[in-house]
Amino acid sequence: MKTARRASNVEVPSFLRQLVKETEKMVTFFFKGGPKETGSGEEETSDEDDSMQSAYLDHPILEKHVSEGGSQSGVNYAVASMQGWRAQMEDAHTCMPQLREELTDWGYFAVFDGHAGATVAQYCSRNLLDYILATGGVKATEDPEQVKEGIRVGFLDIDRHMYKLAHQDNWDRSGSTAAAIMMSPRYIYFINCGDSRTLLCHNGQVIFYTEDHKPFNPRERERIQNAGGSVTLQRINGSLAVSRALGDFDFKEADWRPQTEQLVSPEPEVYELERTPEDEFLILACDGVWDAIGNEELSAFVRSRLQVCDDLREVCTQVIDLCLYKGSLDNMSIIIVCFPGAPQVSQEALQQEAELEKQIDTKVEEIIQLMRSRGEDPDLLYVIKFLAAEEMPGLPPGGGIASKRDCIISSYQKHIMTAKSQEAMDVEGSEEDSH
């Protein structure tokens, strides 16, 4: 395996919204067993300072923004984003399956995970590509080393320009990670600055993923200490939990040091891989996704969903819902880019999925009947936790029972309504007998 070290928007059922609202953050305990830490880019706020606004909502905003598209070369993509538990939506993204002029057979995709505000993330989503192209390093003749240097210089240039804008226009104190890919007909260029992440699934396996830039990584720690900072509680000066980012200019005030040797560096790591027919799909996602699921798990889950769903937008939304129910408290954004070699919907997989959902339906009915026989009120939370503790073969790899929550809720509603109807009929029959 190679690493960066060279190694349709579905309507959320009102019942689900009510469930999440009523249980508030209890939902994050179902499948993780505990709360999440503060998002990686966020500065800590004191629990003792009641005057400061909470970074989290009482219940998550579940509305998703989705889109899709494709290129003439047969590359398709979809993107989905959701605010979730965060008080503000600070993610941004860019999807350009075809670039302009001589680069029409090139593509560019990026996710930007903002923190302490959305200004930098939004500015980069609109302008970063232009800064990269302005270097002149990205050409149709394609020298990979020139392309990589053009990307690196483009990051430094936009960060330098934003520094001026931030001081002139009194920007917020925000920063943003960036995970992106550029694709030519021959190469995929993986770009990473921060702790958002990109991976490539090739012939059923994750063969490349970018490495997160964290303050406690030895190389990052050395730069931070050389710039006069410290790493405390795995954060820069006990505050920022990401060591490379665009923006974050409060951490870039050491005038005597170069741009790439500040407490926080805007320099990306860029790697290229040659494209092959065995390439299946790329995933770009912010750390709100990666906080809840690992590389291999997510790749396996997406691969399994592509075999039962031909709507790539729906696959993206299923990933976000899965991460919510696995405990993510952050904004979430994901882009899935599918190559011609990606898994296709198969009748065998559809049949297995149908059998699994039938099994879940039967199990939910049994649990409800058991609870009613004990004189207990059938509670959805209990049903979900009961199923989570069960050994159930055939669940989506990487997703488990959490990924079938729509099926569980649908079955629960159906069997509760049936039980209540039967109860009403029994009461009516008893009254008639008494007369």
> What angle is formed at CA 345 by the lines to CA 406 and CA 183, rounded to 5 degrees?
100
Instruction: Please answer whether residues 350 and 308 qualify as being in contact, where contact means their C-beta atoms are separated by less than 8 angstroms.
Output: yes
The third-level CATH classification (topology) of the domain covering 347-430 is: Arc Repressor Mutant, subunit A (1.10.10)
- Structure tokens, 63: 């509305």
Percentage above 70 pLDDT, the chain? 85
What gap in Å lies between CA 82 and CA 80, rounded to an integer?
Answer: 7
**What does the mean pLDDT of the chain come to?**
87
Q: Read off the pLDDT band of 242 (50, 70, 90).
A: very high
Q: Is 286 helix (H, G, I), strand (E, B) or coil?
A: coil
Q: What is the pLDDT of residues 370-428, one digit of tens each?
A: 888 888 887 888 888 889 888 888 999 999 999 998 899 999 999 888 877 776 676 66
Residue 6: count of CB within 10 angstroms of its CB: 7
List 181's β-bridge partners, or say none. 109, 190
Question: How many CA atoms does the CB half-sphere of 96 hold within 13 Å?
Answer: 22
What gap in Å lies between CA 339 and CA 416, rounded to an integer?
Answer: 43
Q: What is the pLDDT of residues 117-147, one digit of tens each?
A: 999 999 999 999 999 999 999 999 999 999 9
Q: Is 72 helix (H, G, I), strand (E, B) or coil?
A: coil
Q: Which long-range contacts (CB under 8 A, 24 or more apart) does 321-325 make?
A: 321/403, 321/405, 321/406, 322/292, 322/293, 322/399, 322/402, 322/403, 323/288, 323/289, 323/291, 323/292, 323/293, 324/27, 324/60, 324/62, 324/82, 324/84, 324/292, 325/27, 325/30, 325/31, 325/402, 325/405
Provide the residue count of the chain: 435
What gap in Å lies between CA 357 and CA 406, rounded to an integer?
Answer: 10
- Structure tokens, 233: 């509680």
What gap in Å lies between CA 113 and CA 93, rounded to an integer?
Answer: 9
Q: Name the strands in the sheet holding 197-202, side by side, starting at the edge strand that comes first in the sequence.
A: 2-3, 205-209, 197-202, 279-285, 332-338, 76-86, 56-70
Q: Is 69 helix (H, G, I), strand (E, B) or coil?
A: strand
- What region, left, alpha or beta, does residue 125 occupy, with left being phi > 0 and alpha being psi -120 to 50 degrees? alpha
Q: Read off the pLDDT band of 432 (50, 70, 90).
A: low
Question: What are the residue ranges spanned by the domains of the chain?
Answer: 2-45+54-338, 347-430
Q: What is the pLDDT of residues 43-60, one digit of tens each?
A: 444 444 444 577 899 999
The third-level CATH classification (topology) of the domain covering 2-45+54-338 is: Phosphatase 2c; domain 1 (3.60.40)
Cα distances (Å, whole numbers) of residue 130 to 91, 100, 107, 124, 282? 20, 11, 13, 10, 23
Q: What is the pLDDT of residues 254-305, one digit of tens each?
A: 888 999 999 999 999 999 999 999 999 999 999 999 999 999 999 999 999 9
- H helix intervals, 29-143: 119-134
Tell me the pTM: 0.86
pLDDT at 426: 61
pLDDT at 44: 43
Instruction: Please answer whether residues 246 and 175 qualify as being in contact, where contact means their C-beta atoms are separated by less than 8 angstroms.
Output: yes
